[in-house]
Chains A and B, each alone.
Chain A
Amino acid sequence: DTAVSQTPKYLVTQMGNDKSIKCEQNLGHDTMYWYKQDSKKFLKIMFSYNNKELIINETVPNRFSPKSPDKAHLNLHINSLELGDSAVYFCASSQDRGEAFFGQGTRLTVV
């Protein structure tokens, strides 16, 4: 039973398209995150939600819009995709100050 699952695992799309990545956690955690990992493996937090409330938005272009329908789900919608959006996007969840549990990642390639 996967703790944090995200879909799809791979996403190849053309510039200008709109795409979504879904994330679900079954750990009962209150906090969920989206991280972006670039080609140099640098992990940068994009968003954090706590009990469906946005608490961190780290200077991410407004083409990126997270949505949390409930505390177990955090989806990421990206409008007007650009070449520079190509990266691996990780969903994660945590509870209190505990460790973050990560999904397997979504490798987004914009062509």
Chain B
Amino acid sequence: AQSVTQLGSHVSVSEGALVLLRCNYSSSVPPYLFWYVQYPNQGLQLLLKYTTGATLVKGINGFEAEFKKSETSFHLTKPSAHMSDAAEYFCAVSSGGYQKVTFGIGTKLQVIP
């Protein structure tokens, strides 16, 4: 079984401030982990992914995430928020098997000017 918990359904940051979106996962096997972004009225777009190897992964738009096995976490960060970062962010896990990808409930990021 696999699951994802995103802490904080809404996060507000000031423009230029650090963005931290939290994600914890549960998986019975080494997981593949993903962060997606959804802009209003659009589909989901992959920000970054962790499969194997280096635990700090960099994605598009200046985002990065670190896989911490001991904490079962995969938090998303960006050093300086931009207005265009306002969107819904989803963490997801794939444990293989039937290739099912399970999503967290999403975190809405608001960027305050």
- Chain A residues engaging chain B, CB cutoff 8 angstroms: 4, 31, 33, 35, 40-43, 45, 48, 50, 55-56, 90, 92, 94, 96-105
Contacts and interface: CB of A to CB of B under 8 A. Distances in A.
Interface residues of B, number: 26
Chain A interface, >50% SS class: strand
Nearest to B94: A97
B106 A41 contact: yes
Contacts of B32: 97-98
Contact of B43 (A31, A41, A104): A104
A50 B34 CA distance: 21
A43 B90 contact: yes
Contact of B99 (A97, A101, A104): A97
B67 interface: no
Interface of B: 32, 34, 36, 38, 41-46, 49, 51, 88, 90, 92, 94, 96, 98-103, 105-106, 108
B98 A45 contact: no
